[in-house]
Amino acid sequence: MANRTQLAKQFIEAIPHAQALGMVLDDIGDGTATFSMPYDARLVGDPATGVIHGGAVSALMDTCCGAAVMSHPDAPGGTATIDLRIDYMRAAQPGQRIVTTAICHRMTRSVAFVRATAWDDDRDRPVATATGAFTVEGR
């Protein structure tokens, strides 16, 4: 298992855009994944407040959801996002790392359903939640 996590970590962190955003895989296995992304001034969406752009949070959550699908016990050979909805509950605190956990809670022959939550340092108040459907390919 540790070996598989290591492999997934190397694979995902090598994705060019994951690397550009500084994403890190913290944990993965059995249909769940946890990723984080450090605060970076280049990702700011509102210069007046220094809050990270929603798009960067989307990218982190999309990657995390895809990884959760791939780590499911009935993992497909490959997956792609069909749709992803993100709800932004509040602005992430400038300067803080964003952490997100995704769970693939249902896998059919053709579709994987995923939920994710993102936080900053305050783990009681999520920054964003996501719901997505992913393809199940080449099993």
Partner 1 sequence: MARKRPEPVEVVKARRENALSALVEAVPFIQFLGVEFDRRGDELTGVLPFRDDLIGNPLLPALHGGVVASFLEITSIVTLSWHYLWEDIESGAFDPVKAAGGQLPRLPKTIDFTVDYLRSGLPRDGYARATVSRAGRRYASVHVEAWQDHRHKLFAQATGHFLMPPPEPSE
Binding-site member from 32, 36, 66, 69 for partner 1 (CB under 8 A): 66
Query: Is 2 one of the binding residues for partner 1 (CB under 8 A)?
Result: no
Subset of residues 77 to 106 that bind partner 1, contact rule: CB under 8 A: 80-88, 91
Place of tokens 């995390």: 64
Give the integer Cα–Cα distance in Å for 84 and 130. 7
| In the complex, least distance from residue 44 CB atom to partner 1, rounded to whole angstroms | 4
- The size of the interface with partner 1 (CB under 8 A), counted in residues, is 38
Pick the closer one to partner 1 by CB: 2 or 48.
48
Query: Is 60 one of the binding residues for partner 1 (CB under 8 A)?
Result: yes
In the chain, the N- to C-terminal Cα span, in Å, equals 21
Pick the closer one to partner 1 by CB: 24 or 91.
91
Residue 73, token pair as written in the block: 């016990």
CA 45 to chain centre: 19
Binding-site member from 8, 28, 33, 59 for partner 1 (CB under 8 A): 59
Residue 139, token pair as written in the block: 């099993």
Query: Is 34 one of the binding residues for partner 1 (CB under 8 A)?
Result: no
| In the complex, least distance from residue 133 CB atom to partner 1, rounded to whole angstroms | 10
* Burial profile 68-107: b = 16 or more Cβ within 10 angstroms, e = fewer: bbbbbeebbeebeeeebebeeeeebbeeeebbbbbbbeeb
The binding site for partner 1 (CB under 8 A) comprises: 14-21, 41-48, 52-56, 58-63, 66, 80-88, 91
